[in-house]
Structure 1
């Protein structure tokens, strides 16, 4: 499966995974402007997650970087305590989609069975299928903050670069992206998906790989969507100190970010952004 670790030099027409060809007819003012022509559509495929042979959840996702998605989902949903709790993973293609077969530590599997959660497949809602309010808000320790103050110019640099490193969105216009930038504003990783939660889980998955996990205090996350409560909770669960969103945050997201020590920035467009919490993280 193709990955997007390189954030420069992408040719969207040839390198983006997760796109399928279609034929369309374009109209303007009710009149056709051309004959049938090719176009690209973002793929949306079921991914079933199995833990120690037991099916737990199914999400609808763009079928690339699925290993990152499975690991990130498992961490941000509290199924794994750390990447070391994942012993093995296989991504298996089936006639209906993909299956992520994860072998996890026995203590994690025991806890998972006790939770008895059933998640419905989704691309937009991050809380569908939860059994109780206790499943929504997980107790998390506050984030320590960035390793050093973040320059506002670094945020502007990263947001400007983000526009150029989304090959799948350039092809289809139908995907979200989540990116990781270092404290200078250089984007190091980008993950794309039809679902904003999936894109963030993919990013967290690549950041938390077992072999060489990043120091999450040495950078910040960027998302091409609104900042919801769950997006803040996911980043806080792995110690990311700042989230920069293109769109608006919700009130619950701001409240959660304040409590968990996450600097939350919204409306990051062109040369402007709005800081909602922990502005003292800025230089």
Structure 2
């Protein structure tokens, strides 16, 4: 079954607006994409000496917060599999307007170790910004210890070109708001396995990777990820952590994204549409239709 956000009321909010069109003002109702903060906290240590610390605050579209947190922890190298996550716990007060609890504690298994000093870069996370530069690339190189694998994987050019329209059909909240990014996971036959929408493009991919992680499917099968925006350095980092060998973006890649993809064995595709796309690294996985 294809995964998607389950409750549209968490992702959209109605607002009365004034529209100017064809020389006249008209009052009407419009839907806005919901944006709410989520604090991700981590609980770690031995049973008699547990610590609870704030890891990150991200602006996200509510829904699938567990997948979001799992994907974030995986992408940052704090966990490497679902087995290292023992519990998700909603904490903190509920928002008076939405009824949501915007704080999620992730309990990790005893023995999971990390250095908070080296995790300071995590706090860049918002719905629109990222990190860049040589220091960031060096930090990711130290964290990622393996390429994505699947060097013999082959996918047709026509399949790549078909992905944006296939995912677009599942972007129900985008249809109503025009304000959400999406990330989709595809099998090599073009079947959409999972699709997540979020106001933050990083969050949408974190939810997708978290879905893979919690389902125990990391680095186990040939697959493709599609993102609705540009391909940034951070998005390539996330697919490497998940072991996804092909990343397709509707928009442009950055120079650091292409460099990281080339180094870790990811086929990076940009400007994907039904008529064309560009291949920036490891082109051997893509073939002409027979």
Normalising by the smaller structure, the TM-score range is 0.7 to 0.9
**C-alpha distance in 1 between matches for 2:225 and 2:248:** 6
Residues 1:248 and 2:252 aligned together: yes
Instruction: Using structure 2 for the length normalisation, give the TM-score.
Output: 0.84
Q: Residue 73 of structure 1 corresponds to which residue in structure 2?
A: 72
Q: In structure 2, how many angstroms separate the alpha carbons of the residues matched to 1:71 and 1:189? A: 16
Q: Relative to 1, partners in 2 of residues 1:5 and 1:103: Cα closer, same or farther, differing over 3 Å?
A: same
Work out whether 1:111 is the aligned partner of 2:105.
Answer: no
Q: Is the contact between residue 72 and residue 201 of structure 1 (CA under 8 Å) also seen in structure 2?
A: yes
What residue is the counterpart of 2:37 in the other structure? 46
In 1, Cα distance between equivalents of 2:242 and 2:181: 21
| Structure 1 portions without partners, runs of 5+ | none
Q: Distance in 1 between matches of 2:125 and 2:219?
A: 31
Q: Equivalent residue for 2:57?
A: 58
Distance in 1 between residues matched to 2:151 and 2:168, nearest whole Å: 24
Corresponding residue of 1:220: 224
Partners of 2:198 and 2:204 within 8 A in 1:
yes
Q: For 2:77 and 2:161, how far apart are their aligned partners in 1?
A: 32
Q: How does 1:1-283 map to 2 (within 5 A)?
A: 5=3, 15=8, 17-28=10-21, 31-34=23-26, 36-52=27-43, 53-92=52-91, 94-95=93-94, 98-108=102-112, 110-115=113-118, 117=120, 119-127=123-131, 133=136, 135=139, 137-140=141-144, 141-145=146-150, 148-209=153-214, 211-213=215-217, 216-283=220-287
Cα deviation per residue 1:91-134 (whole Å; 9 max; x = unaligned)? Answer: 346345511111102333x4143535261551111339x9x645
Structure 2 unaligned regions, length at least 5: 44-51, 96-100
Deviation at 1:27, TM superposition (A): 0.6
CA contact (8 A) 2:42 2:53 kept: yes
TM-score by length of 1: 0.86
Q: How many residues align?
A: 270
Q: Is the 8 A contact 2:81 2:218 kept in 1?
A: no
Are the counterparts in 2 of residues 16 and 168 from structure 1 also a CA contact under 8 Å? no
Is the Cα–Cα contact under 8 Å of residues 20 and 43 in structure 1 kept in the other structure? yes
CA distance in structure 2 between the partners assigned to 1:138 and 1:16 by the alignment? 41
Structure 1 Cα separation of the partners of residues 283 and 263 of structure 2: 14
